[in-house]
Amino acid sequence: MLAEEGSSHGCGSGIPHGSGTSSAREMLEVRPGLYLGGAAAVAEPHYLKEAGISAVLTVDSEPGFKEGAGFEGLRSLFVPALDKPETDLLSHLDRCVAFISQARSEGRAVLVHCHAGISRSVAIVTAFLMKTDHLTFEKAYENLQTIKPEAKMNEGFEYQLKLYQAMGYEVDTSSAIYKQYRLQKVTEKYPELQNLPQELFAVDPTTISQGLKDEVLYKCRKCRRSLFRSSSILDHNEGSRPIAFAHKRMTPSFMLATGNQAQCTSYFIEPVQWMESTLLGVMDGQLLCPKCSAKLGSFNWYGEQCSCGRWITPAFQIHKNRVDEMKMLPVLGSQTRKL
Task: Report the DSSP pairing between strands 75-80 and 53-60.
Answer: parallel
Dihedral angle over CA of 137, 140, 142, 147, nearest 10: -150
- Residue 223 is a binding residue for Zn ion (CB under 5 A): yes
* Shortest CB 179 distance to Zn ion, Å: 17
Among 17, 75, 139, 222, binds Zn ion (CB under 5 A): 222
Report whether 278 contacts 212 (CB < 8 A).
no
Nearer to Zn ion by Cβ, of 124 and 220: the residue is: 220
Tell me: does residue 291 bind Zn ion (CB under 5 A).
yes
Give CA–CA dist 170/166, Å, rounded. 9
If you ran DSSP here, which 8-state letter would residue 283 be given? S
Q: Which of 292, 329, 332, 335 binds Zn ion (CB under 5 A)?
A: 292
According to DSSP, the residues that pair with 77 across neighbouring strands are 57
Window 39-98: residues binding Zn ion (CB under 5 A) = none
**Binder among 122, 124, 171, 308 for Zn ion (CB under 5 A):** 308
Asked if 200 touches Zn ion (CB under 5 A), the answer is no
- In this structure, are residues 225 and 292 in contact, taking their beta carbons and an 8 Å threshold? yes
Output the CA–CA distances (angstroms, integers) from residue 51 to 20, 28, 126, in the order listed: 10, 10, 21
**In the complex with Zn ion, which residue's Cβ is closer, 22 or 226?**
226
**d(Cα 34, Cα 28) in Å, to the nearest integer?**
8
- Asked if residue 289 binds Zn ion (CB under 5 A), the reply is yes
Closest CA to 57 of 105, 131, 120: 120
Rounded distance, CA 147 to CA 29, Å?
A: 9
Q: Is 11 in the site for Zn ion (CB under 5 A)?
A: no
How many residues form the binding site for Zn ion (CB under 5 A)?
Answer: 12
Is-catalytic flag, 114?
Answer: yes
Chosen residue from 51, 220, 227, 328 binding Zn ion by CB under 5 A: 220
Rounded to the nearest whole angstrom, what is the least distance from the CB of residue 320 to Zn ion in the complex?
Answer: 11
- Catalytic residue chosen out of the listed positions 11, 96, 114, 264: 114
Q: Which is nearer to Zn ion, 25 or 236 (CB)?
A: 236
Residues designated catalytic: 114
Give contact residues for Zn ion (rule: CB under 5 A).
220, 222-223, 225, 264, 289, 291-292, 294, 306, 308, 310
